[in-house]
Chain A
Amino acid sequence: MHRNLHNTLFLVFWGLALVGIIGSIYYNDLAAQAPRVENRKIDRLLIEEKIRNGSLSNHPARYYKKHSDMGEEP
């Protein structure tokens, strides 16, 4: 009885672990395929120049929150 329970728990544990590992690989794979903007860093000098010459704006945006550098909301 005790041994059967042990075997069942052993199988359930490793079964779930296997599903988790496969699922994680699958979703990471999908995330890697998903198109996105690679370089988020701006050239600040270029942007400021474009704002000065009028081809870009520097207008307040709506809908955002500030975080501290530790990632906490103020």
Chain B
Amino acid sequence: MSPLPPIVECRLCPRRCKLAENERGDCRVRVNLDGELRTLVYGKPCALHIDPVEKKPLFHFLPGSSIFSIATAGCNLHCLFCQNWNISQSDPEETRNESFPPEHIVDAALKNRCPSIAYTYTEPVIYYEYTYDTCLQAHQKGLRNVLVTAWYIEEEPATEMAKVVDAANVDIKSFDDRFYRELCGGSLRPVLRATEILSKAGVLVEITNLIVPTKNDDPGVICELCAWVHDHLGAETPIHFTRFHPDYRLTGIPSTPAKTLLMAAETAHIQGLHHVYVGNLPEGGNEDTFCSKCGKKLIARRGFRVNENRLVAGRCPDCLQPLHGIWK
């Protein structure tokens, strides 16, 4: 009698899924085929777009530039409020996928005059190999790489990925582990650990916190998040508070009131963070960038558009203070 094919244990993310033959991981895209772990989405994106970099949101990275953006199906979190749930919570055999190997992505970015590539919309952690190989090829052609991620990943792959990425917007969903467990099916601590790895590796990190009314809008928890960002990533780290819209399985909760977002922004300022942004507000939010030394406005934005950029070689033209970010 031939032995059964082995069980494989995925070590990419903290779930550590144990997969018997013909089973998929919680991310939906990594499967045990004949005792080997395989990815079903390498070179098979289900979304390809050109976006303004401000849409990621990334405010301290090549402002006003276009970014070539890709995603595959699947995600290793299952947030009840996911705004891209139709692809993130789908099996890859259910989505309409293109064949775009890494070199084609790089060529397409160059052809469309995008100086950078974003691995976004769903979760680049789960299409790790595709992201990593595309990042390597992008660097060879002088392009930059951006992760837009919840960054629920183990330390070793996080460390490797940090070597080929230039910037990341990390979505820290709450500073409350219970929120992660109950609404996302994950946990907080690995996200914090992996985010520190990115920051220490010199990757430009911006933080997003989407505020869901009654779920993660407690001022004390927001205060803890801001204090952690200040102490572990630095006072110059940009933080974005974004507005929740009812979606997916959380349709019974209204959109985040403007006053909640403004309270969060004020909390972040009090905790000593210099670059605090509020997005997704119909009346416009706090989207402008100010010099952290003299306080003058350096970049004026409205929505995803940059109306004015006064930076000179990455510095404030008035007091010559360098502004934290990647500017050319």
With A33-B182, A42-B23 given, is the CB distance from A69 to B7 under 8 Å?
Answer: yes
Bitwise interface map of A from 33 to 74 toward B, beta carbon under 8 Å scored 1, else 0: 111110011111011001100111111111111111101001
Kindly state whether residue B79 has any CB partner on chain A within 8 Å. Answer: yes
Q: B157: shortest Cβ distance to chain A, in Å? A: 5
Count of interface residues, chain A, beta-carbon cutoff 8 Å:
34
Task: Name the A residues within 8 Å of B10 (CB-CB).
Answer: 61, 63-64
Q: Hey, which chain B residues are within 8 Å of A31, CB to CB?
A: 181
Q: Which residues of A contact B9 (CB under 8 A)?
A: 64-67
Q: Which residues between 46 and 98 of chain B lie within 8 Å of chain A, taking CB atoms?
A: 78-80, 92-93, 96-97
Is A30 located at the chain interface by the 8 A CB criterion?
yes
Number of B interface residues, CB 8 Å? 51
Q: Are B6 and A69 in contact (CB under 8 A)?
A: yes
The interface-forming segment of B31-39, B112-120, B296-304 is: B31-39
Q: A40 with B24: in contact, given A57-B42, A60-B36, A61-B39 (CB under 8 Å)?
A: yes
A71 near B12: Cβ-Cβ < 8 Å:
no
Q: B44 near A: Cβ within 8 Å? A: yes
- Given contact pairs A55-B44, A57-B39, A67-B18, A62 touches B129 in the complex (Cβ within 8 A): yes
Q: In whole angstroms, how far apart are the Cα atoms of A32 and B41 in the complex?
A: 29
Q: From A36, A58, A68, give the contact of B6 (CB < 8 A).
A: A68
**Chain A residues in 8 Å Cβ range of B79:** 35
Query: In the assembled complex, which residues on chain A have CB atoms less than 8 Å from the CB atom of B19?
Result: 40
Do residues A40 and B23 form an inter-chain contact, with CB atoms below 8 A?
yes
Contact B12 A63 (CB under 8 A): yes
Q: How many Å lie between the Cα of A71 and that of B20 in the bound state?
A: 10
A15 to chain B, nearest CB (A): 25
List the A residue with the shortest CB-CB distance to B13.
A63
Q: Is B188 an interface residue (CB 8 A)?
A: no
Residues of B within 8 A of A36 (CB): 26, 78, 185
